[in-house]
């Protein structure tokens, strides 16, 4: 079967397994080109198969020699359907890790369930040396079934103030178009907090603590985004912003608990805007990202997912140069948020039109990044070659 890209707005309907291998390899190559670092030895990553979670796993394994457990929600081959990008990323990671003798174990399923927590804890106890040093929480999801009340909550990407209309990029049609984000009901805000807030992170820490699998000095970091003024309406003041504030509150609660019991730490880290499966579907965000890339690349301070997470880990979480704000949040988004960067992004934002957006933004770069998340647009992958799905179907993460 020859696999071609098919898009629907900001969603990729297909992905390329051979391209996924290249996607993972390039991130590994980056980490190997950098100095090794002293980091954690045993790590659990929730949301390990794509975006920031995957980059974190690659940095920790190939940069610090960590053994990793990944939890992700992904699909394999079903009939003529190729499976999800995160499925192939995980298989590619495993193959590369195995070659270097790095232990990597995966749990594919619902991280929000108690069953998943029990399975992971059992594995840590019986086959992973009994304890973990670090938990990274990098989930992005639209639904969560609360394991305690059994209710399924759906997150909404909405405003909490007023209707927000603004331009975005449609990668399918390759046009800049207006999108409107409606106002959330109180119920939609509450549901989004249920899905993307800190409740599940806390349940993980409580379960791991009860299971006796946290080491002395244990750390946990949850990923979040804040963003600048131009995206406040959709992010900071949106439903997602409400959820992220809940996450920050949770980090303080967990920090107190972990400090007391394990001499440990809990942080939220605010990362830079990047194209991922999750961010590509947020209204307005892709255009902001394309303008931001233009400015940051011109200034020589652009980072992809791997550069961003490698800097967070080597400089901040396991280094001596943490950038922490007054709200105790780690700030690897500090270059994105620089005043000169934001002033230039704002100037472009005022100038950008459906006619000029491809020229004045880094549209090509943002689109390439989006395609590469799904294994496409690598110059050294032959996309006309036949992909043997039956063979690939035998592989499991
Ligand atoms: P992503 O879509 O690439 O990754 C999400 C991960 O969550 C995947 O591994 C997926 O399999 C997993 N997942 C989703 N539902 C699950 C479930 N029920 N059970 C188990 N695993 C599940 O997204 P991303 O952009 O890497 O986002 C990760 C975190 O980083 C989010 O908290 C996001 O807010 C944050 N972040 C993203 C950006 C950005 O610009 N992309 C910026 C700053 C912070
Ligand atoms: Na992730």
Q: Phi and psi at residue 193, in whole multiples of 5°?
A: -65, -40
pLDDT of residue 105: 98
Alpha helices in 221-360 (DSSP H): 239-262, 285-298, 305-311, 339-351, 357-360
Band (80; pLDDT cuts 50, 70, 90): confident
| 331: DSSP letter | -
- Provide ipTM, 2 decimals: 0.97
Q: Which H helix or E strand runs over 106? A: strand 104-108
pLDDT at 327 over 90: yes
Residue 355 falls inside a structural domain: yes
**Which CATH number is 234's domain given?**
3.40.50.720
Ligand number, closest to the Cα atom of 90: 1
pLDDT at 47 over 90: yes
Residues with a beta carbon under 5 angstroms from ion ligand 2: 47, 51-53, 138
How many CB atoms sit inside 10 A of residue 159's CB? 22
* Highest mean pLDDT, choosing among 20-34, 165-179, 221-235, 281-295: 20-34
pLDDT at 320 over 90: yes
- The finding on whether 274 has its CB within 6 A of some atom of ligand 1 is yes
Compute, in angstroms, the gap from residue 224 CA to the centroid of ligand 1: 10
Residue 2 falls inside a structural domain: no
Distance CA 78, CA 65 (A): 34
Known catalytic membership, residue 235 = yes
Residue 1 falls inside a structural domain: no
pLDDT of residue 280: 87
Compute, in angstroms, the gap from residue 111 CA to the centroid of ligand 1: 12
> Domain tally for the chain?
1
Compute and round to an integer the Cα radius of gyration of the chain.
Answer: 20
More confident residue, 245 or 280: 245
- The finding on whether 141 has its CB within 6 A of some atom of ligand 1 is yes
Compute, in angstroms, the gap from residue 384 CA to the centroid of ligand 1: 31
Percentage with pLDDT > 70 across the chain: 100
Structural domain range at position 157? 7-378+386-394
Residue 126 falls inside a structural domain: yes
129's torsion region: left (phi>0), alpha (psi -120 to 50) or beta? Answer: left
Mind listing the pLDDT tens digit for each residue in 107-119?
999 999 999 999 9
pTM for the whole structure: 0.97
Atom 8, ligand 1: which residue's CA is nearest? 47
Distance CA 58, CA 188 (A): 35
Positive/negative CA dihedral, 294, 298, 304, 310: negative
Among 137, 153, 223, 235, the active-site one is 235
Indicate the average pLDDT of the chain.
Answer: 96
CB within 8 Å of 326: residues ≥ 6 apart? none
């Amino acid at each position: 079967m020859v696999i071609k890209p098919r898009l629907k707005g900001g969603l990729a309907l297909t992905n390329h397994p051979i391209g996924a291998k290249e996607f993972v390899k390039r991130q590994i190559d980056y980490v190997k080109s950098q100095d090794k670092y002293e980091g954690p030895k045993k790590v659990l990553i929730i949301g390990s198969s794509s975006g920031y979670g995957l980059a974190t796993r690659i940095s920790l394994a190939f940069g610090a020699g960590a053994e990793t457990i990944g939890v992700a929600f992904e699909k394999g081959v079903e009939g003529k359907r190729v499976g999800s990008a995160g499925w192939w990323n995980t298989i590619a990671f495993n193959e590369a890790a195995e070659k270097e003798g790095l232990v990597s174990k995966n749990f594919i399923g619902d991280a929000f369930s108690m069953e998943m927590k029990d399975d992971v804890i059992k594995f840590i106890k019986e086959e992973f040396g009994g304890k973990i040093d670090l938990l990274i929480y990098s989930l992005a999801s639209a639904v969560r079934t609360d394991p305690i009340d059994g209710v399924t909550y759906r997150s909404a990407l909405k405003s909490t103030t007023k209707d927000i209309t603004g331009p975005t990029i449609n990668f399918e049609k390759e046009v800049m178009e207006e999108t409107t984000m409606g106002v959330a009901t109180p119920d939609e805000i509450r549901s989004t907090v249920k899905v993307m807030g800190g409740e599940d992170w806390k349940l993980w820490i409580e379960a791991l603590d009860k299971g006796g699998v946290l080491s002395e000095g244990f750390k946990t970091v949850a990923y979040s985004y804040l963003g600048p003024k131009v995206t406040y309406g959709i992010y900071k003041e949106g439903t997602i912003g409400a959820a992220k504030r809940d996450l920050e509150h949770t980090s303080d609660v967990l920090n107190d608990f972990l400090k007391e019991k394990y001499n440990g730490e809990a942080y939220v880290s605010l990362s830079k805007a990047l194209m991922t499966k999750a961010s590509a579907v947020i209204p307005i965000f892709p255009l902001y990202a394309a303008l931001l890339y233009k400015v940051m690349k011109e200034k020589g301070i652009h980072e992809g997912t791997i550069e961003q997470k490698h800097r967070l880990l080597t400089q901040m979480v396991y280094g001596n140069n943490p950038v922490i704000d007054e709200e105790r949040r780690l700030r690897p988004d500090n270059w994105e948020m620089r005043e000169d960067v934001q002033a230039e992004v704002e100037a472009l934002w005022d100038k950008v039109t459906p006619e000029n957006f491809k020229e004045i933004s880094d549209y090509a770069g943002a689109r390439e990044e989006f395609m590469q998340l799904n294994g496409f647009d690598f110059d050294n992958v032959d996309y006309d070659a036949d992909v043997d799905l039956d063979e690939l179907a035998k592989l499991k993460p």
